[in-house]
Chains A and B, each alone.
Chain A
């Protein structure tokens, strides 16, 4: 029973550092693999043994409840020994650097490191110094590949396809790793990607990412199939990038009125955690068109697929 579902699928990388660098086939392969874990996760017996004997360390330099627990559950369901390590900013300030932590952990012979860090490129820096496989669980404003994969899986299960869909990614594009990974992935699978946000939260050069850029949300949502909202970090809310959260909600918050511009069967997504009343209205977040809870479910399945695919490449696998 513990036979790998599709032994043909091989991820051509030791690490998963981003969506960038994955081929279309690899993305689809991961989604197909995840699809099988969705079914598994709905059964009473959820255990696999493909990671038995393996040690997975979740190394989080930035607090996260949902991503960390999602990775933890994914690892455990595949039979790995999972250790969670939260390195707070304060202990980093004591002088231990990212590299010291990497070298220390490497000496413990983990097989897979799942890493989140608040600086872009930090996970790559760490991956270059360790012997095990590394999964990027979010690095600064750079990439969050498992989020993009779970978003794609959610879309594919609800719409039956990704190709040709119009996906509007809305909000703080500038600081969003979720946006970057999603843009790359959705473009690779031939969706039509739009980004929508105030000009101060759109990175200069974004128009060269193969996206349509909108600064008016109603226009940006027009005839969209998927409305993907982004979290607005609290520290960006007051004065520096936008005047206030109230004004932001008025122009860029997703409510029923703005959602009406999208297609009648448009679906709403959010990576969480949500700021209700800032980027999204509760009625929409909890409404019939919201996929937000399903995204969480897909998260576990996608992370199992990623861990499984990387484990197949581990020595002695």
Chain B
């Protein structure tokens, strides 16, 4: 489709490229699916014939986001989300690369399934999709998967998704073996025995609602175990979703010891706290659970200081039959891929996190960790670019979400800032009308 691949020139924009600490007002030229040039006055110097010129005065131009943790549902739960529907949601949220999770039916635990996912996504999705593969066969936490072959097939990391590997021996072996394949092991750190029947953060608020609590140590103890294992195994380790101050201390010690450890925080835990559960709002039931405000503040500070590497959506579509239930019976999870950036902008507008830091954690850093070429506007890199109106205020109506499921904790939230254009490989895949 050569018409689609016309060169695009974004003019007069505030261009932020966190991969090289660039924050200028200028132009950005894309040709042949790649970023060609970023500087002031490209237009004045002349552009290729047929170039589509888009005036971006007053707008932000940044690398497309790389969402490191999204649960899609394909294969096996296409009624909840497909690569097609997720990719439209992603594009509307400025996400140009989705990293999908392996807890599907069947799970993504062999090279053929990785291949299926990549082909299916290539044929149906409008943004890039890369799968993480299962760390253990069948996500059972017992035997490691074919890490080498899976990586060769295109898996960007290894994880048991929303499940924790409780057997320390299995985790140690996977880290040890994975090291020679430079495999990134991503782990959901929640001890299921300590979580037990808990459904929200343990403490006064859970007690008032008559709900059983999940203690934050369920997370911290698992993370502490993992860091100790990394010390002897020396693999590459990434904590999938940290939520509390104690975990951040443990992570910090691991990093200071020079271990190859990194961590994500979900947009939910950075912008919401346990009080948002309110009167049993199941859209705010997530795993790990939303924590007290003090933990949220600690998480934001850790993002600002670079201790938290990645901000991800934790996108998890759940439909009415899994959400319109008593709180304890509802399935955890919230959609978020479409609102990740605008929700994150709350932190920027509040002065808690610089814009470039937020963008780095949503693009440059996950791309680095996963070995993907995006997350940068350097000439020669893929033309995955977003245009954002940072300031326009609006109220989210969940019915406008493009995800098949509407379980957004930001329903009716007041937001400031909106993605106005998303470009993947030099093609505009989303435009706000």
Contacts and interface: CB of A to CB of B under 8 A. Distances in A.
Given A120-B326, A125-B324, A208-B204, 20 more contacts: A97-B321, A99-B325, A117-B326, A119-B327, A119-B328, A120-B327, A120-B328, A121-B210, A124-B279, A125-B280, A125-B325, A140-B210, A141-B210, A142-B209, A180-B210, A204-B215, A205-B204, A205-B205, A205-B207, A205-B213
Nearest to B199: A120
B321 A120 contact: no
A153 B315 CA distance: 50
A152 to B, nearest CB: 20
A160 B369 CA distance: 70
Contacts of B325: 97-99, 119, 125
A54 B202 CA distance: 42
A143 interface: yes
B329 interface: yes
Contacts of B210: 120-121, 139-143, 177, 180
B307 interface: no
A143 B210 CA distance: 8
Of B202, B203, B205, B210, chain A has the most CB atoms within 10 Å of the CB of B210
Complex A-B, nearest 5 residue pairs according to Cβ-Cβ distance, in ascending order: A142-B210, A205-B204, A119-B326, A121-B280, A141-B210
B208 A140 contact: no
Contact of A209 (B206, B207, B213, B280): B207
A203 interface: yes
5 contacts: A97-B321, A141-B211, A142-B211, A205-B207, A206-B204
Interface string A91-114: 000000111000000000000000
Of A141, A143, A206, A209, chain B has the most CB atoms within 10 Å of the CB of A141
A117 B210 CA distance: 13
B204 A125 contact: no
Contact of B207 (A97, A122, A203): A203
Of A20, A97, A139, A206, chain B has the most CB atoms within 10 Å of the CB of A97
Interface residues of B, number: 22
A124 B209 CA distance: 11
A208 B292 CA distance: 15
Interface of A: 20, 97-99, 117, 119-122, 124-125, 139-143, 174, 177, 180, 203-206, 208-209
Given A121-B279, A125-B280, A125-B326, A204 B213 contact: yes
Nearest to B213: A204
Interface of B: 202-213, 215, 279-280, 321, 324-329
B213 A122 contact: no
Nearest to B281: A121
A59 to B, nearest CB: 14
A233 to B, nearest CB: 13
B209 A99 contact: no
Contacts of A121: 209-211, 279-280, 326-328
Contacts of A180: 208, 210
B328 A140 contact: yes
Of B202, B213, B325, chain A has the most CB atoms within 10 Å of the CB of B325
A120 B279 contact: no
B213 to A, nearest CB: 6
B195 to A, nearest CB: 14
A204 B208 CA distance: 10
Contacts of B205: 205
A315 to B, nearest CB: 25
Contacts of A143: 210
A124 B328 CA distance: 13
B289 to A, nearest CB: 14
Contacts of B279: 121, 124
Nearest to B196: A240
B209 A203 contact: no
A204 B202 contact: yes
A115 B326 CA distance: 13
B294 to A, nearest CB: 14
Nearest to B207: A203
Contacts of B321: 97
B206 A203 contact: yes
A192 to B, nearest CB: 20
B232 to A, nearest CB: 34
Contacts of B329: 119
B319 to A, nearest CB: 12
A206 B207 contact: yes
Of A98, A119, A177, A209, chain B has the most CB atoms within 10 Å of the CB of A119
B393 to A, nearest CB: 29
A98 B212 CA distance: 21
A205 B203 contact: yes
A255 B328 CA distance: 36
Contacts of A97: 321, 324-325
A97 B211 CA distance: 20
A121 B277 CA distance: 12
A94 to B, nearest CB: 14
A98 B206 CA distance: 22
A205 to B, nearest CB: 3
A119 B211 CA distance: 9
Contacts of A204: 202-204, 206-207, 213, 215
Nearest to A120: B210
Given A97-B324, A140-B326, A140-B328, A120 B202 contact: no
Given A97-B321, A141-B211, A204-B213, A122 B206 contact: no
